[in-house]
Amino acid sequence: MPQHGIIGAGTDIIEIARIKQAYERIGDRFLEKVFTPGERSFCDERRDRFSCYAARFAAKEAVLKALGTGLAGCSFTDVEVRRPDGGRPEVTLHGAAAEIAKEKGIASILISMSHSRENAVAFAIATGEEVF
């Protein structure tokens, strides 16, 4: 039986400097481990790419919390944040995250992201029905 309504919610905040420092220490391996090729391409085209990366990192954490699992059993690249046609951000789940969502009856995840000069924040809501 399909689920209806809100199944989970998650939020996360991160200092943008932490993402930049991780990149400076580890380099492209960090970006490849955390972000999909599409996310890397999108952020690398931005004037302030680390703000973009930090917002997506917060979004991935928020989504994993909304799924109710955190990072257990999933990888960061199982959660992809896209902005088709420059519109509102959308979440696509892959691998273990997609399986968990299916098992829990999650049909849609809404996401909101923002950042200041120092921090990036995201909020995710997992619903049991297609919202848009």
Q: Choose, from 4, 20, 94, 115, the residue flagged as catalytic.
A: 115
List CB contacts of 36: < 8 A, sequence separation 6 or more: 77, 80
Q: With contact defined as beta carbons under 8 Å apart, do 10 and 62 qualify?
A: yes
Count of other CB atoms within 10 angstroms of residue 102: 11
- Looking at 4, 65, 94, 102, which residue is catalytic? 65
The SS3 call for residue 41 is helix
Please count the other Cβ atoms lying within 10 Å of the Cβ belonging to residue 84.
9
Residue 20 appears among annotated catalytic residues: no
Degrees to nearest 5, angle at CA 79 with 77 and 82: 105
- Amino acid identity for residue 76 in this structure: F
Is 94 annotated in the active site?
Answer: no
Tell me the catalytic residues. Answer: 65, 115
